[in-house]
Structure 1
Amino acid sequence: MDFAAARKVMVDSQVRVNDVTDRGLQAALLAVPREHFCAADRAFAAYGEVEVEIAGDRRLMQAREVAKLLQALDARPGETALAIAAPYAAAVLADLGLKVTAQEADPAVAEVVAPALDDAGVVMHVGPLTTPTGADWDLIVSEGAVAARPTAWLERLRIGGRLAVVERSGPNGRAVLYVRGREGYSRRELFDAAPPVLAEMTPAPAFAL
C-alpha cells in the first residue's frame, strides 16, 4: 500500500474540506506516518474515516477531528504540549515544532506507539490518565473523549494555556476548547464528535437515597 499517497488523499478529502485551513498543520499531517500509530494489522485502515485500533479498546481519533482540535489550539513552535491518550496528535505537534510529552496509561498501547513517538522526538510517560505528568503546559490535547470536565487536566495548564478535548456523556459529544485565565477557565464549543470515552476519565456512579 502506498501510505504517502493515502496520506495526501486523507488531507485533501478529510482535512481541508472540513475547514482546516492552517497550512503548517496540513504539512505536518502530510509528514507524520499515521499508520505507525495503530496496530500493525490495522495499518491498512489508518487513512480511512474510521477510528483505528491501537491496542485493546483504544482507538486513534479520526484524522479530521484531530486536525480540527489541533487547529483550535493554535499551536506555536517552542510551546510545551502534553498529549494525553493522543499519540498521533503528539507527533503532529512535534512536527510543528513544539516540545511534546505523550502520556499513556496502558502499557500495551505504549508498546505500539513508543517507536513512532521516539522517531518524532516525543517524550513518553506511562501513568494514570487521571494524574497528568508535569505542570504549566501551554497545550493539552486528547484523542479520547471524557465523560465530564477534566479538572485535573485543566489544573496542569499555565495561565493562558489551552486544552482541546471531546466531552461526551451519551451517544454524541462536543469538542471543546478551554483557556486558563487568572481567575478561572473559559470554555468554547467547537464541533460535534463522538470518539470512544476513556474509561479512566469516566466518573464512578454516584448513588443517593
Structure 2
Amino acid sequence: MDWENARYLLVEQQIRPWDVLDQKVLNRVLAVKREDFVPADKKELAFVDIELPLGNGTQMLAPKMEAKLLQDIDPQPSDKLLVVGAGTGYLMALAAGLVAHVYGVEIDAAQADTARANLAAAGIKNATVTQGDALAAAQVQGPFNAIIVTGSLVEVPALLKDQLAVGGRLIAVVGELPIMSATLVSCVDKGSFGFRKLFEYNLPRLKNVAEKTAFTF
C-alpha cells in the first residue's frame, strides 16, 4: 500500500469534510504514521472510517473523530493534556506535537504497554501513559488544561471536571443511544463549569462507566 497517498486521501476525503480545517491538526495527521499504531492484524484498516476494535473490549476512534476532538479541544503549546482511554497511543501522538506534555490513562494493562511501545517507536518524548481507571481516581499529574475522553459517558463525572485547571477544557461524547453528543466542558472558575454541545456522534462506553438506574415501582 502507498501509505503516504492513503494518508493524504484520509485528510482530504474524511477529515476535511468533517470540518477539521485547523492546519496544525491536519499537519499532525500527515506527520504521524497511523498504520504503526493499529494492531498488526488490522494494519490494512488503518485509514478506514470506523471505530476499530482492539480485541480487549475497547476501540480505536475513527480517524476523523480523533482529528475532530483534537481540533475542538483547541490545544495550546503550553497545555498539559490528558487522554482518558489511551488506547494504542495514536491520539496522544497527534496531541504531543501541539502541547507541552500529553498524559494518557488506560485501564487495560496490556494496552497501556502497547501504547507506551508505540509512542516510543514513533519517537514521541513528551507523552506518559499510566495504567489505571480514570473514573476511579484523579491523576497525580493534574490539574490539566485539556482532557479528551475516548469513550462515551452517561454524564461527565465531577472527578474529571475537577481535574481541569481554570480556563481548561474537556471534551467527551455524552448521553445514551440513540443520540449522544460531543460536549465541551469549560472550567470558568474553580467549581464552576460551562457546557456546550458540539455535534452528535455515538461511541461505545468508556470502560467502567456506571449506567443510569431505571427506577421501577
TM-score by length of 1: 0.92
Q: SS of 2:208's equivalent? A: helix
Aligned position for 1:20: 20
1:43-58 alignment, distance < 5 Å: 43-58=43-58
Aligned position for 1:194: 202
1:110-149 alignment, distance < 5 Å: 110-118=112-120, 119-121=123-125, 122-130=127-135, 131-133=137-139, 134-149=141-156
Deviation of 1:94 (Å) = 0.2
Counterparts of 2:2 and 2:175 in 1: how far apart (Å)? 35
1:1-209 alignment, distance < 5 Å: 1-86=1-86, 87-118=89-120, 119-121=123-125, 122-130=127-135, 131-133=137-139, 134-182=141-189, 183-203=191-211, 205=213
Deviation of 1:48 (Å) = 0.6
Deviation of 1:201 (Å) = 2.1
Q: SS of 1:123's equivalent? A: strand
Deviation of 1:204 (Å) = 6.6
Counterparts of 1:21 and 1:172 in 2: how far apart (Å)? 25
Structure whose residues are more often helix by fraction:
1
Greater Cα shift, 54-63 or 19-28: 54-63
Deviation of 1:52 (Å) = 1.1
Q: SS of 1:4's equivalent? A: helix
> How many pairs does the alignment contain?
209
Over 4 Å off, 4+ runs: 206-209
Counterparts of 1:158 and 1:173 in 2: how far apart (Å)? 26
One-letter code aligned to 1:101: Y
Counterparts of 1:193 and 1:132 in 2: how far apart (Å)? 27
Deviation of 1:36 (Å) = 2.6
How many percent identity over aligned positions? 28
One-letter code aligned to 1:175: A
